[in-house]
Amino acid sequence: MKKTGIIGYGWLGARIANALSGKYTIYATTTSQEKAAELNAKGINTTCAGFPDYQLTETYPQWNEIKKLDILIITIPVSEKSCCVSSLYNRIQHLSSFIGDFKGQMFLMSSTGVYPDISKEFTEEDVPLEKVSGERMIKNRYPQANILRLGGLMGDNRLLKNYNVSNPDFAVNHIHYADIAGILFKMIEDGTENCLYNVTAPMHPAKFQVLDAQKNRVTEVEEETGIKGKIVLSSKLVSELEYIFQYPDPRKFHEIPQE
């Protein structure tokens, strides 16, 4: 059974681990000693590790488990929105020290936030990874890395109705976590490397349409009427991976049973 490391066992990391645990042996990192002990007690080999955005006096220690791993999934933030470029550089340097010269299959969870907030349909070519500092730094160090630009993470307790919503007539670029796990599984099984994909559900209703569905209200306008804002397309992923989304319509995410 292949061994998979998940750096960042947060909301998304936990769900990826749960989806892959029957197929791969899971190793993980978390920033809390208490959580690491809890996960170890559940049989998930977990190391406590954080990656500060400031310089350290000593080199960040390497992960003891890294040489065992076939696959590495990075879910910690490596975007300029999480910190400035110099701080981001420090964080990625510490991450690189932690995983060393890992040669296996690698996945970096990035974000569709790299695209500007303008009313346009975006593909990966509109913002090459060379223009995104975190993505570029990772790729320069690990050329085999796959970069997945995730839309708004949804599923379980994450529903649009639970948030303060602005611009209700703007399109959503959401993705159900089950499809993230499904895409990862497909790419792992295919041995995919060195790819950049947008990961968003193929349907992009307006926020008010999603809210109406979640609150059992009738939407009074047609699907394509009055929708504004950016739309991030996942058509490259669908074409190249031949992936079929389990949950293509964000208006139905609330109907999916919680785990």
**What domains can you pick out in the chain, each with its CATH number?**
3-164+173-204+231-246 (3.40.50.720)
The whole-angstrom distance between residue 205's C-alpha and the CA centroid of its chain comes to: 21
pTM: 0.95
pLDDT at 226 over 60: no
C-alpha of 130 from chain center:
19
Tokens 């990961």, residue?
Answer: 199
* Cα(20)–Cα(98) distance, integer angstroms: 23
At 10, is the pLDDT very low, low, confident or very high (cuts 50, 70, 90)? very high
At residue 221, the pLDDT reads: 57
The percentage of the chain sitting over the pLDDT mark of 70, rounded to a whole number, equals: 95
pLDDT band, very low/low/confident/very high, at 258 (cuts 50, 70, 90): confident
- Counting DSSP H helices and E strands in the chain, the numbers are 7, 11
Q: Each residue of 151-169: pLDDT tens digit?
A: 999 999 999 999 999 999 9
Q: Which of 5, 72, 77 is nearest to 44 (CA)?
A: 5
pLDDT for the residue numbered 78: 86
Model confidence pLDDT, tens digit, residues 44-96: 999 999 999 889 989 999 999 999 999 999 999 887 766 678 889 999 999 99
The whole-angstrom separation of Cα 156 and Cα 14 is 12
d(CA 143, CA 193): 9
Taking the alpha carbons at both ends of the chain, their separation in whole angstroms is 25
